[in-house]
Amino acid sequence: MDIQGIDKEYRLSFTEEAKRIVDGLTLEEKISLMGGKFSAIEMLANFSGENHYNFFPYPAGGNAEKDIPQVLFCDGPRGVVCGTGKSTCYPVPMLRGASFDVELEERIGQAIAKEVRAYGGNLFAGICINLPYHPGWGRSQETYSEDSYHIGQMGSAIVRGVQKENVIPCIKHFAFNSMENARFTVNIECDKRTEREVFLPHFKECIDNGAAAIMTSYNLYQGKHCGQNEYLIRDILKGEWDFDGFTITDFIWGINDTITAANSGQDLEMCNTYYYDSKLISAVKDGRVPEKNIDEAAVRIVRTLLAYTQDNKKEYPAEIIGCKEHISLALESAQKGITLLKNENQVLPIDREQVESIVVLGRLANHENIGDNGSGRVYPPYVITPLQGIAMTAGNKKIVYNDGSDIEHAKTLARKADYVVLVVGYDHKDEGEFVSSQQVGNLMDPMGGDRTESLGLNLEDIRLINEVGMENPNSVVVLIGGSMIMMEEWKDSVNAILMAYYPGMEGGMAIGQILFGDINPSGKLPFVIPKSEKDLPEINWEAENQKYEYYHGYMKLDREIIEASYPYGYGLSYTEFTVCNARFVVNDNYIEATCDVKNIGDHTGDEVIQLYVGYSKSSIPRPQKVLKGFARVTLEPGQAKTVTIKTSVDQLKWYNEETNGWELEHVIYDMYLGTSSSNNDLIKGELKLH
């Protein structure tokens, strides 16, 4: 069997065999397939213990006597969480989203899956595709973008890559999970059109591309916990979308009632079994849970496991974990996602022949900073810090480091140097997955959380930039963080700004290579950066009830005619590109957008051409424009290429709440091709659909 053939049709071919196996099981045996085998106490204790969270794949279900394999769970959006000092640590997904490179993300998915197999796992649950309604969400770093289409394309790419190595791709968290501090208790409300057009399309896209498991979320939606929400699980996921795989709960607190969860269609309780034990057996025997619900869950689990474990003769030795090929991939990812936002007077790249000394300032410059310390924490063999990366790529130039705590001393160093690099931003203490002390007692310390106070830098970093940046015309800020960071208070104090996100174990090397021009930056912002936090949606991070409106991010700024500080999809290069001759046609239910792109600069570089669709002729309120396609192209100096982006006409449909269906307006659509969401960077055209 071609391992690339693990799609829905292939999985369904195991239905009869799965039914035969399940028919031969007792009720107790069937229910035993629906629970995790690792206790909640052990899991929480291991968050801070020597054998950390997910140190080994967490088992669930299985029946050795009946030849039913276990689910063997591995976590990690940045790579495989298992082990210590071994796994490849890739940049966070938000940086990978900034690459706009689906082919690269598919390769990363395949590499991660190889390490999952080498650890003995068979399910990868690190595919987080939640949409950050507000960039202050602590786990924004774990997803790809603020845009649903963008998330769907990148998430689908990693799903395809993971499947190539017979690993079950598990997407999460279904659904409406983009708050940390109140994630266990908050109830999310939104209208049905917002639900269907904004918060669910990327889940369906990943399912259509082969996702075979789905983790539900802690929060409530429309008053019901998502882990036992019949509307989300039975009606939409398994009903409308015809999902053939199985659902799993988020860990420990993912469900809170045996009967409600089992009747809603929740298939597997993780990572321990508390509700799906004797309580569920009794509920079935008492008639409160129909046995057909148990049969359905068991068949889904067994069928999926059979599909991913049959004919899997390939060996995955331990040497695959953290191998040179995978580490090289982590470096490539950082190189392609780090985003140049400002480069006045062509301060960058640094010319090694023209400089003698470089001062590197900031407490984060010499900090191994790969993201939050929650369930996605990866334990690589090493991490190259920004300071180390700059030193490794600087040649024989003098590198002076200072943490910047003494401003006057830092100013003196800056005046004497040829260049100043200020490394500022966040680490795991500032943002990330949140677990409250009330939730875990004395088992672990509270961690991470949403950025509730401010979306800007801390006051010490702002002061460092504003006072030291003005001392040297060759001052560069390198930003570290998982999502959007406000810049208005300081961006005029330096001539160059590089957004490095959390760039992974090789991130420092990529930063150094970009600063010195060994790599031409090509990342594009996967979020908009506004001039004021007031331009973002209203949110209460401690809310019991939070409403999600239709507009957020760049669509909100467009609607309110507010200029961004930096638009969505924006990113500079060390070369220049021209985009011309945009044309738009419909062919076989696909829109084909074509333009000519030319590199008119002196360096080989990559450009990301973006397709947006606008609805100014619509009879209903719709966004000014929405991303509906993109393509990354590499061009040598003087080289030109014709770029074609295809997107389905179905992408233009809107959800009619009155008819509960998707509808296509037969009007003239605004079409845009260019290099960011700003109208200044786009060529506008029209396309009439009949």
Who contacts 534 (Cβ-Cβ below 8 Å, separation ≥6)? none
Q: CA angle 309-315-317, nearest 5°?
A: 125
Summarize the confidence of residues 160-175 as an average pLDDT. 97
Residue 197 has pLDDT above 90, yes or no: yes
Q: Give residue-wise pLDDT tens across range 44-66.
A: 777 766 789 999 999 999 999 99
**By percentage, how much of the chain surpasses pLDDT 70?**
97
Backbone angles phi, psi at 477, to 5 degrees: -100, 130
Class of domain 577-688: mainly beta
**By percentage, how much of the chain surpasses pLDDT 90?**
93
Residue 42 has pLDDT above 90, yes or no: no
Summarize the confidence of residues 135-154 as an average pLDDT. 98
**Amino acid at site 590:** Y
Q: Which residue has the tokens 């801070």?
A: 48
Residue 3 has pLDDT above 60, yes or no: no
Strand ranges (E), 272-315: none
Class of domain 3-319: alpha beta
| Same fold? 3-319, 577-688 | no
Q: Give residue-wise pLDDT tens across range 327-364.
A: 999 999 999 999 999 999 999 999 999 999 999 999 99
**Amino acid at site 357:** S
| Per-residue pLDDT, 345 | 95
Classify 311 in phi/psi space as left (phi over 0), alpha (psi -120 to 50) or beta: left
Please name which of 671, 662, 664, 667 lies closest in space to residue 689, comparing C-alpha atoms.
667
How many Cα atoms within 13 Å fall on the side-chain side of residue 240? Answer: 15
In whole angstroms, what is the distance from residue 68 CA to residue 63 CA? 5
Summarize the confidence of residues 247-251 as an average pLDDT. 97
Contact (CB, 8 A) for 531 and 567:
no
Q: Where are the domains of the chain?
A: 3-319, 327-545, 577-688
Who contacts 230 (Cβ-Cβ below 8 Å, separation ≥6)? 224, 263, 264, 265
Laid out side by side, the sheet with 605-614 consists of 626-635, 605-614, 668-674, 682-688
Q: Average pLDDT over the chain, rounded to whole?
A: 95
How many Cα atoms within 13 Å fall on the side-chain side of residue 45? Answer: 5
| Per-residue pLDDT, 1 | 38
Who wins on pLDDT, 689 or 29? 29
Please name which of 197, 101, 95, 188 lies closest in space to residue 555, comparing C-alpha atoms.
197
Q: Give residue-wise pLDDT tens across range 90-115.
A: 999 999 999 999 999 999 999 999 99
Residue 446 has pLDDT above 60, yes or no: no
Residue 240 has pLDDT above 80, yes or no: yes
Residue 358 CA, chain-centre distance (Å), reads 34
| CATH code for the structural domain at 327-545 | 3.40.50.1700
Residue 445 has pLDDT above 80, yes or no: no
| Per-residue pLDDT, 39 | 81
Residue 209 has pLDDT above 90, yes or no: yes
| Per-residue pLDDT, 529 | 98
In whole angstroms, what is the distance from residue 210 CA to residue 270 CA? 22
Summarize the confidence of residues 19-30 as an average pLDDT. 98
